[in-house]
Amino acid sequence: MDCQKVGDLIYRLRKEKQLTQKELANQIGISDKTISKWERGLGCPDVSLLKDLSEIFQINIEKILDGKLTSNIRKGGNMKRIEFYVCPLCGNVLTSSNYVDISCCGRQLDPLTIVDHQIPFQMKNIDGESLLTFDCQMSKEDYISFVAYVEYDRYYFIKLYPEQAPEVRLPELRRGKLYCYSIKEGFMLLK
């Protein structure tokens, strides 16, 4: 841990939160002289204080230890870059249209990768909507967790649950991509 980098980061984050050294020190139960020492690179925070600093500044502990925050390169709102993430412990589903560090339940998540498999499905157009019916048991051991339809500027996301009918209604499918995530089979590109 580079104390100078960590101190510079703490200084910048403290200023962003519009806190004085005394206010920050009071929030974590130490002296303002200790904050001053850190910000001058003459020492680093004790490990026992990292959780408090992380919560106050709303950043990961790893970023405090690194002493730097990196910004993503701003890319347009094109949904072609959308990534889906699923927590293996709680099943939480997250999305991103740019590179991100995503974690859930204390674990770093990687974007889902498309498997070379297809779940059979039928599609009917009804009153300007597409009704998709999947050939899936929808049991607790094997069910479709979500279906997402991605167009160039938006996406539609439908969460499904075990023992639910394996069907979804979406706007009429045109030139977008249709994704499906099955607990047993994985993440698939259907259209």
Check whether 18 has a pLDDT greater than 90.
Answer: yes
Contacts of residue 186, Cβ cutoff 8 Å, sequence gap at least 6: 112, 115, 117
Cα-trace Rg, the chain: 23
Q: Are 176 and 190 in contact (CB under 8 A)?
A: no
Q: State the average pLDDT over residues 49-71.
A: 86
Of 18 and 80, the one with more pLDDT = 18
Q: State the average pLDDT over residues 155-163.
A: 93
pLDDT at 65: 87
Q: Model confidence at 64, in pLDDT bands (50, 70, 90)? A: confident
Check whether 167 has a pLDDT greater than 70.
Answer: yes
Q: Are 71 and 44 in contact (CB under 8 A)?
A: no
Q: Are 13 and 59 in contact (CB under 8 A)?
A: yes
Distance of CA 23 to the CA centre of its chain: 31
Q: Are 172 and 131 in contact (CB under 8 A)?
A: no
Residue 39's nearest CA partner among 66, 3, 7 is: 7
Q: Rounded distance, CA 143 to CA 160, Å?
A: 8
CB neighbour class for 129 (10 Å; exposed up to 12, middle 13-18, buried from 19): middle
Q: Model confidence at 77, in pLDDT bands (50, 70, 90)? A: low
pLDDT at 1: 81
Name the class of domain 79-189: mainly beta
Q: State the average pLDDT over residues 171-191.
A: 90
Q: Are 165 and 123 in contact (CB under 8 A)?
A: no
| DSSP track, 164-188 | S-SEEEEEPP-SSEEEEEETTTEEE
Q: Rounded distance, CA 171 to CA 177, Å?
A: 12
Check whether 73 has a pLDDT greater than 80.
Answer: no
| CATH annotation of 3-66 | 1.10.260.40
Q: State the average pLDDT over residues 74-95.
A: 82
Q: State the average pLDDT over residues 74-80.
A: 63
Cβ neighbours of 150 (radius 10 Å): 21
> What are the residue ranges spanned by the domains of the chain?
3-66, 79-189
| DSSP symbol at 114 | B
pLDDT at 11: 93
pLDDT at 148: 95
